[in-house]
C-alpha cells in the first residue's frame, strides 16, 4: 500500500515511478538513495540518474522531473509491502490512535483506560499473560450494563469483531481499546447508545454491514 508514515526495513518498502501508465520499481541502489533522502527530509529533493537521464526527485510533490526538461514529470510513490498480519496491526494501531491520540495519551484514552481497568480479570498475571484482559465475568458484567444477553444477542459478536478479538470470551487491553475507538465511545453509557444494532450506521466503520450478515449467518448455523 502507498504509505509515507510507517517506518520499515529498507526493503520492506519500494520506491516506484510512473511510466507508460503503470508504476515501475527503481533499482535497489536508487531505491536506497531515495529512501535515505526521504528519511532525512520527507519534503526535500534528491538527484538521481536513471538510465541515461538525470532526474530531480521532489519528495514533497511526489514527482520525478528531468533535470533538463519541463512539464510535470513522472509521479512517484513509496509502496510498503505488508504481510497480512502486519497490515492488520498497522490498521488497528491507526484506528486506536485516531480516537485515543498518538501514544494513546489524550483525554479519550484516559477515560477508556479507566473503564478497562475497572473490568480487568482478577486472574490476570503480568508475569504469565502478554497483556491485561477482560475475561468472561467482565464481559458478562459489561453486557448486563448494555442490556445485552451475551449468550443470545448478536451485539456481543459484533463488539468482539470490532475489537478484532482473537479468543472467545476474552477482550485484551489492545482489543478493548480498538473496539471503543472504532465506536468512538469512552463510557458504557455511550457504548449503550452506539451498540451495533440497530444503530450500526453510527459506527462509521466500512465493513460493519458485512459483519452483520456474517453474524446472523453464524447464529443461524448454531
pLDDT score at 214:
47
Give how far the C-alpha of residue 80 lies from the chain's centroid of Cα atoms, to the nearest Å: 14
Tens of pLDDT, residue by residue, the chain (222 residues): 898 888 877 778 999 999 999 999 999 999 999 999 999 999 999 999 998 899 999 999 999 998 877 678 899 999 998 888 888 888 899 999 999 999 999 999 999 999 999 999 999 999 999 999 999 999 999 999 999 888 777 888 888 989 999 888 899 999 999 999 999 999 999 998 876 554 444 444 445 545 544 444 444 443
* Local structure of 141: helix, strand or coil: helix
Are the beta carbons of 18 and 76 closer than 8 angstroms?
A: yes
**Do residues 99 and 146 both lie within one domain?**
yes
Asked if residue 153 belongs to a domain, the reply is yes
**Do residues 103 and 204 both lie within one domain?**
yes
**Do residues 110 and 212 both lie within one domain?**
yes
pLDDT score at 35:
94
**Do residues 116 and 197 both lie within one domain?**
yes
pLDDT score at 210:
52
Measured between alpha carbons, how far is 168 from 8 in angstroms, rounded to an integer? Answer: 32
Strand partners, 134: 171
Domains identified in the chain, total number? 2
Residue 154's CB is within 10 A of a number of other CB atoms, namely 16
Domain boundary among 27, 62, 80: 80
Domain boundary among 80, 107, 129: 80
The CATH number covering residue 215 comes to 1.10.238.10
Which 8-state DSSP code applies to residue 169? T
Asked if residue 21 belongs to a domain, the reply is yes
What region does 130 belong to: left with phi over 0, alpha with psi -120 to 50, or beta? alpha
pLDDT score at 195:
67
**End-to-end CA gap in the chain:** 38
The CATH number covering residue 73 comes to 3.30.720.50
pLDDT score at 168:
86
Are the beta carbons of 12 and 31 closer than 8 angstroms?
A: no
Measured between alpha carbons, how far is 31 from 80 in angstroms, rounded to an integer? Answer: 12
Q: Kindly give, in sequence order, each residue whose CB lies less than 8 Å from that of residue 10, ignoring residues fewer than 6 positions away.
A: 31, 32, 35
pLDDT score at 197:
55
Asked if residue 27 belongs to a domain, the reply is yes
Q: Provide the angle, in degrees to the nearest 10, between the axes of the packed helices 84-100 and 107-119.
A: 110
- Quote the pTM value: 0.65
Give how far the C-alpha of residue 204 lies from the chain's centroid of Cα atoms, to the nearest Å: 14
**Do residues 155 and 171 both lie within one domain?**
yes
Are the beta carbons of 134 and 170 closer than 8 angstroms?
A: yes
pLDDT score at 215:
47
Residue 125, domain extent: 84-221
Domain boundary among 65, 80, 95: 80
Asked if residue 6 belongs to a domain, the reply is no
Amino acid at each position: 500500500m502507498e504509505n509515507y508514515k510507517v517506518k520499515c526495513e529498507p526493503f520492506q518498502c519500494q520506491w516506484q515511478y510512473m511510466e507508460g501508465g503503470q508504476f515501475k520499481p527503481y533499482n535497489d541502489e536508487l531505491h536506497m538513495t531515495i529512501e535515505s533522502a526521504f528519511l532525512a527530509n520527507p519534503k526535500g529533493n534528491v538527484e538521481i540518474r536513471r538510465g541515461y537521464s538525470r532526474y530531480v526527485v521532489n519528495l514533497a510533490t511526489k514527482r520525478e522531473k528531468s533535470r533538463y526538461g519541463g512539464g510535470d514529470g513522472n509521479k512517484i510513490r513509496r509502496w510498503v509491502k505488508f504481510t497480512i498480519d502486519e497490515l492488520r496491526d498497522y490498521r488497528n494501531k491507526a484506528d486506536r490512535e485516531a480516537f485515543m491520540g498518538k501514544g494513546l495519551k489524550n483525554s479519550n484514552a484516559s477515560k477508556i483506560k479507566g473503564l478497562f481497568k475497572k473490568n480487568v480479570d482478577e486472574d490476570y498475571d503480568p508475569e504469565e499473560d502478554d497483556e491485561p484482559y477482560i475475561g468472561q465475568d467482565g464481559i458478562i458484567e459489561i453486557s448486563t450494563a448494555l442490556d445485552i444477553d451475551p449468550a443470545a444477542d448478536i451485539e456481543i459478536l459484533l463488539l468482539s469483531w470490532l475489537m478484532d478479538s482473537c479468543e472467545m470470551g476474552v477482550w485484551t487491553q489492545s482489543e478493548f481499546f480498538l473496539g471503543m475507538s472504532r465506536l468512538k465511545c469512552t463510557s458504557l453509557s455511550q457504548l449503550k447508545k452506539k451498540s451495533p444494532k440497530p444503530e450500526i450506521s453510527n459506527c462509521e466503520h466500512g465493513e460493519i454491514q458485512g459483519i452483520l450478515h456474517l453474524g446472523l449467518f453464524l447464529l443461524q448455523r448454531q
